[in-house]
């Protein structure tokens, strides 16, 4: 398959997530990075692009216009900027007919999310959102087991995402923008809560219809949330919960999902991503590994662990196949709908917290 010509907005020298996206995009040889507007600082943008050997632009709008006009212009663009800078470049490239691959969450505000949605709906180009954890092989296996009825009817859903790196005042570039409401839009619920929300939604195939929230800013002076306890109700009658925290001292990246049905339960944890525990109501629990996985989403033999980077790479590999015409993979790659669902989750969470934990319906 001919590599997809890729551009990037953000991700200049010293940026964390931009480097992750570049590694993921090239891991399977399905993308070729050829252009970028890598920084709002023209000198830094040019220096970063020179280091990567790609065309450099000082402005994303100029890049969208110029690349759309080139015969060898980019076919897709990765947006790896802080949340408040997702909407304008996403809309510009979608209007230019260029596919957009955007880091999560969708945007910082509902207005920005609507701008992306309107541009995507009017464009012939596709929009993709990089919730990388749902692309891990055993998460996809969990989804397949739920879909085929291995758990029976779902009764309980519990997701957690616990970190401790923001237990004190922000002291790094990554921490500083994530705790700024103008740039992040929300704190832990946006940064990691949307991952837990999307993971539970992806595996169960169900979206909660209402939630009640205890939202906290535990670090003195912090103006965004850093801990959230969320109770959820599903239309099916199932109940759920999400706990996300970035002040849980000692926790590094504790994402986990447990699903309890009438016939069996499933448990998956990111620190041990290649093991999925299936516990039938009657009989011993089974530990499933990639040796039994049906998704074929792996590059190394079972027993040779894959993880964070490979999850991103699975997303990129599937996106390339979709761009080249393989529509069969579309249901397992997050897109605009997942992004809007995440924004609805953030809005409902904040609304419930403002009403002292009152139950709030989750919008669309």
Q: Domain boundaries in the chain?
A: 4-129, 153-261+335-354
For the cut 70, the answer to whether the pLDDT of residue 327 exceeds it is: yes
Please give the pLDDT value at position 303: 75
**Residue 321 structure tokens:** 């196949």
Long-range contacts of 273-278 (CB under 8 A, 24+ apart): 273/136, 273/138, 273/139, 273/305, 273/306, 273/307, 274/137, 274/138, 274/302, 274/305, 274/306, 275/138, 276/138, 276/141, 276/142, 278/145, 278/150
Bridge partners of 36? 8, 56
Please give the pLDDT value at position 227: 98
**Residue 245 structure tokens:** 């925290």
Write down the CATH superfamily of domain 153-261+335-354. Answer: Dihydrodipicolinate Reductase; domain 2 (3.30.360.10)
For the cut 70, the answer to whether the pLDDT of residue 364 exceeds it is: no
For the cut 80, the answer to whether the pLDDT of residue 102 exceeds it is: yes
Instruction: Indicate the pTM of the whole model.
Output: 0.94
**Residue 67 structure tokens:** 């690349």
For the cut 80, the answer to whether the pLDDT of residue 92 exceeds it is: yes
Please give the pLDDT value at position 170: 80
Is the peptide bond between 108 and the residue preceding it cis, with omega within 30 degrees of 0?
Answer: no
- The 10s digit of each residue's pLDDT in 275-318 is 999 999 999 999 999 877 676 656 777 777 788 999 999 999 99
Which CATH number is associated with domain 4-129?
3.40.50.720
Same topology for domains 4-129 and 153-261+335-354, yes or no? no
Query: Cβ(188)–Cβ(164) under 8 Å?
Result: no
- The 10s digit of each residue's pLDDT in 196-248 is 999 999 999 999 999 999 999 999 999 999 999 999 999 999 999 999 999 99
- The 10s digit of each residue's pLDDT in 244-274 is 999 999 999 999 999 999 999 999 999 999 9
Place of tokens 């012939």: 124
- The 10s digit of each residue's pLDDT in 140-174 is 999 999 999 999 999 999 999 999 999 999 888 88
28 φ/ψ sector (left φ>0, alpha ψ -120 to 50, else beta): alpha
- The 10s digit of each residue's pLDDT in 19-52 is 999 999 999 999 999 999 999 998 999 999 999 9
């Amino acid at each position: 398959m001919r590599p997809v010509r890729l551009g990037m907005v953000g991700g200049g020298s010293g940026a964390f997530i931009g480097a992750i996206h570049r590694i993921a995009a090239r891991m399977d040889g399905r993308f070729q990075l050829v252009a970028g507007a890598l920084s709002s600082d023209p000198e830094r943008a040019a220096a970063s692009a020179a280091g990567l050997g790609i065309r450099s632009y000082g402005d994303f709008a100029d890049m969208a216009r110029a690349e759309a006009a080139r015969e060898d212009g980019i076919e897709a663009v990765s947006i790896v900027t802080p949340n408040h800078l997702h909407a304008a470049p996403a809309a510009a490239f979608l209007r230019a007919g260029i596919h957009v691959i955007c880091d999560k969450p969708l945007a910082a505000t509902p207005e920005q999310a609507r701008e992306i949605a309107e541009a995507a709906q009017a464009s012939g180009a596709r929009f993709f959102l990089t919730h990388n954890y749902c692309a891990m092989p055993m998460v996809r296996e969990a989804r397949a087991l739920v879909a085929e009825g291995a758990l029976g009817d779902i009764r309980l859903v519990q997701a957690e995402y616990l970190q401790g790196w923001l237990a004190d005042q922000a002291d790094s570039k990554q921490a500083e923008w994530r705790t700024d409401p103008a740039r992040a839009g929300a704190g832990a619920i946006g940064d990691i809560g949307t991952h837990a929300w999307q993971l539970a939604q992806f595996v169960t195939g169900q979206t909660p219809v209402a939630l009640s929230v205890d939202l906290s800013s535990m670090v003195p002076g912090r103006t965004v949330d850093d801990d959230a306890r969320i109770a959820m109700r599903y239309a099916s009658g199932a109940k759920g919960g999400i706990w996300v925290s970035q002040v849980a001292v000692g926790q590094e990246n504790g994402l986990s999902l447990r699903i309890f049905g009438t016939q069996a339960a499933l448990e998956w944890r990111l620190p041990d991503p290649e093991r999925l525990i299936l516990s039938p109501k009657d009989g011993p629990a089974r530990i499933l590994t990639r040796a039994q996985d049906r998704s074929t989403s792996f590059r190394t033999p079972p027993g040779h662990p894959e993880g964070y980077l490979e999850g991103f790479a699975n997303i990129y590999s599937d996106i390339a196949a979709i761009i080249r015409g393989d529509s069969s993979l579309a249901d397992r790659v997050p897109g605009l709908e997942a992004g809007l669902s995440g924004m609805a989750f953030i809005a409902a969470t904040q609304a419930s917290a403002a009403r002292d934990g009152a139950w709030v319906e989750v919008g669309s």
